[in-house]
Amino acid sequence: MDGRRLILFTVSTVVISLANGLTGPNIPRGEKDPAFWRNLAKDRLQKRKQQVEINKIAKNLILFIGDGMGPTTVTAARILRGQLNNRPGEESVLAFEEFPNVALSKTYNVDRQTADSAGTATAMLSGVKTNYFIVGLDGRATASDCLSAEGKEVESLVDWAQAAGKRTGIVTTSRITHATPAAAYAHTPDRYWEGDVNTAEIEGGCRDIAQQLIDDNKDINVLLGGGRRYMLPNNTEDPETNKINSNHRRDGRNLIKEWEADKEARGLQHKYVWNKGQFDAVDYRNTDYLLGLFEPNHMQYELDRDTSSSGEPSLAEMTKTAIEILSKEDKGYFLLVEGARIDHGHHDALAKKALHETLTFEEAIMDALSI
């Protein structure tokens, strides 16, 4: 890939443990030799000494967010990666742990010690900390108070990238209107005002997140994730379930068709897809705008994912296609990639799924590094 690529990731804390039951002959022989450890240290020091500081402006920026991926999750996932290869596990190293610069950050909302995705994603994408539940607004806004939102909007990395003439994209395994991706483009005092069914009775005229995405962000090149339910009107069946979801829009708007109509009217090469077969058929060379909504709700856990043509792509596959579309622009791009279901697995005490989501997140990073 041309130009310097800066890849970042962030974490929020979770607690989990993984028992390492491999002993005896499974222990790498080298680890019993003192010279192994001394040579390892020398090698690491030599690599560090050879690092060259880069002072150029980054052309491309990819922000990887592993939602719910705290230090304990990283440790457990590292061990799991090794054990899946019939090794003890602790000797493994995840791809992002090999970055030349790795750090820990402290997270909190302005009004709470325990942060949520809305406030933290807003901070990461805009540089401004804010309150619990708040998306794309500063700390003067009050959660769930529409009247407090006016004039409190903050710009994001998407705004800055587009102002610099760069292409932009968002990839997530959650609903595309969920808190983290929404912080890249929306402004609302309530992260759950994703559709008009959530804002219908709200005083102050706040628009739902899905509406803001389609009405105000027509130049985002790539949008991939779940969340069809807030895009379709309540007289239209979902193409996969053949049912009308209770969260379908009351205003009669089909935001997917409106997205397509806007691109058609402007003569832009575009494609909308909702399953893996359609996604795999996308010709990135002839596609400048791609909208992929693969589930009514969040996308499937990787362990449950239907990999057939009627199923959905992996996070790594979506990331690779997004980069291929975005990298066609000489001025560079900004891409947000969220491994959202790490967090969901922890919320529901599904440790195995959470750890495999972490490994899938790592695979997306490795694919980005290989392009």
CB of 76 closer than 8 Å to CB of 16: yes
Strand-strand pairing, 60-66 and 167-175 = unpaired
Active site includes 156?
A: no
Q: How many beta carbons lie within 10 A of that of residue 92, not counting itself? A: 17
| Best CA proximity match to 323, nearest among 171, 178, 217, 165 | 171
Q: What are phi and psi of 310, to 5 degrees?
A: -90, 0
CB of 217 closer than 8 Å to CB of 236: no
> Phi/psi class of residue 70: alpha, beta or left (left: φ > 0; alpha: ψ in -120 to 50)?
beta
Structure tokens at 223: 């949008």
Residue 96: DSSP 8-state: G
Which of 12, 117, 314, 327 is catalytic? The answer is: 117
Residue 251 CB: number of other CB atoms within 10 A? 13
User: What DSSP string describes 245-286?
Assistant: -TTSBSS---HHHHHHHHHHHTT--EEEE-SHHHHHT--GGG
| Whole-number CA gyration radius for the chain | 21
CA 211 to the chain's CA centroid: 20
* Residues tagged active-site: 117
